[in-house]
Amino acid sequence: MFPVVVVHGGAGHIPKERSENSTSGVRSATRAGYTILQRGGSSMDAVVEAVTQLENNPSFNAGCGSVLNIKGEVEMDAIVMDGKTLGSGAVSAVRNIANPIQLARLVMDKTGHACLTAEGANQFARSMGVPEVPLESLITDYSRMRWKKNLAPDANPVECQMGKMGTVGAVAVDSEGNVACATSTGGMLNKMEGRVGDTPCIGCGGYADNQVGAVSTTGHGEAIMKVILARLILFHMEQGQSVEAASDLALAYMKSRVGGLGGVVTVDPQGQWAARFSSLQMAWAAAQKDTLHYGLYTGEHFTQSIDDPL
């Protein structure tokens, strides 16, 4: 068994001028997570570090690059899950927090609950000494431009959303065979205030179980929730399917049954991994055996040494 971390930067259509930033962002985050695994760190530490890096990168729809809701504000969702204990923590519709994924981990580690929402999540953050950041620090010019564009009466936010479905996530297996997942998002472009998608819902935005594997998802949240995508993939794996086949089967089912597009990163406890998507693109990267793998389009698979410059 070789430790591995696999990261996605969101499924959808990434404009050409932004695709390079997406690809380099997931590679950099993957390297950061893998460094933790190389030092004997846990899969949970690795996925949280990888996702934190993506939240801090304005190219992704999470943390400081989050899309805006209908009021022009940022509400974020995140989840973590530990495959050893089935412990999980999530936050939804949280505001003014730079790294919701770290807050989700605190929910798992420091409370008896699985999910905290909105003001309750913010109160918990304050009690844990997590600093609040001004709303403006989470809003990019790009997000504001797209928000304004989608206020037009003839706009189609779902279609336009595919331009930045940059939900971010990671899965990992550590040297002890423990699996973990982490997923974080700013949600859907011009969503109603208080809308919560698949990301913080256990079994939808992510799931991790040492007996089967771990998954982090991205795509159209409402579609993902209808098919419980992350857990559906693990169900196929329990039936004997490989990580790749199970991922493809579940994505195909979501497309045929509810017309939803998306993408996933999946691992099993033996260190087999996959990055699969039904959308046009998904920025992804994986690190295992000192090799960095990455791609953006279907069928694309590049490799380089983990130590080579990005």
Residue 197 is assigned to a ligand binding site:
yes
Q: What is the pLDDT of residues 254-268, one digit of tens each?
A: 999 999 999 999 999
The residue from 167, 183, 199, 266 that is catalytic is: 167
Find, among 218, 236, 282, the residue nearest to 62 by Cα.
218
Residue 177 is assigned to a ligand binding site:
no
What pLDDT score was predicted for residue 152? 81
What pLDDT score was predicted for residue 232? 98
Residue 231 is assigned to a ligand binding site:
no
Residue 220 is assigned to a ligand binding site:
yes
Which residues have CB under 8 Å from 174's CB, separation 6+? 3, 37, 40, 41, 42, 43, 46, 180
Find, among 10, 17, 28, 56, the residue nearest to 296 by Cα.
10
For residue 290, give Cα distances in angstroms to 8, 66, 120, 211: 19, 32, 42, 26
pLDDT, tens digit only, all 310 positions of the chain: 799 999 999 988 877 778 888 999 999 999 999 999 999 999 999 999 999 999 999 999 999 999 999 999 999 999 999 999 999 999 999 999 999 999 999 999 999 999 999 999 999 999 999 999 999 999 999 899 989 888 887 766 555 555 555 699 999 999 999 999 999 999 988 899 999 999 999 999 999 999 999 999 999 999 999 999 999 999 999 999 999 999 999 999 999 999 999 999 999 999 999 999 999 999 999 999 999 999 999 999 999 999 988 8
What pLDDT score was predicted for residue 157? 54
Cβ of 40: how many Cβ atoms within 10 Å? 10
Q: What percent of the chain has pLDDT over 70?
A: 96
CA distance 174 to 226: 31
| Active site annotation includes 183 | no
What pLDDT score was predicted for residue 159? 55
Please name the residue that has the structure tokens 């169900």.
235
What domains are there in the chain, each with its CATH number? 4-305 (3.60.20.30)
Residue 195 is assigned to a ligand binding site:
yes
pTM, two decimals, is: 0.96
- In three-state form (DSSP H/G/I as H, E/B as E, the rest C), the secondary structure along the chain is CCCEEEEEEEEECCCHHHHHHHHHHHHHHHHHHHHHHHCCCCHHHHHHHHHHHHHCCCCCCCHHHCCCCCCCCCCEEEEEEECCCCEEEEEEEECCCCCHHHHHHHHHHHCCCCEEEHHHHHHHHHHCCCCCCCHHHHCCHHHHHHHHHCCCCCCCHHHHHHHHCCCEEEEEECCCCCEEEEEEECCCCCCCCCCCCCCCCECCCEEEECCCEEEEEEECHHHHHHHCHHHHHHHHHHCCCCHHHHHHHHHHHHHHHHCCCEEEEEECCCCCEEEEECCCEEEEEEEECCEEEEEEECCCCEEEECCCCC
Q: What is the pLDDT of residues 178-229, one digit of tens each?
A: 999 999 999 988 899 999 999 999 999 999 999 999 999 999 999 999 999 9
CA distance 216 to 208: 9
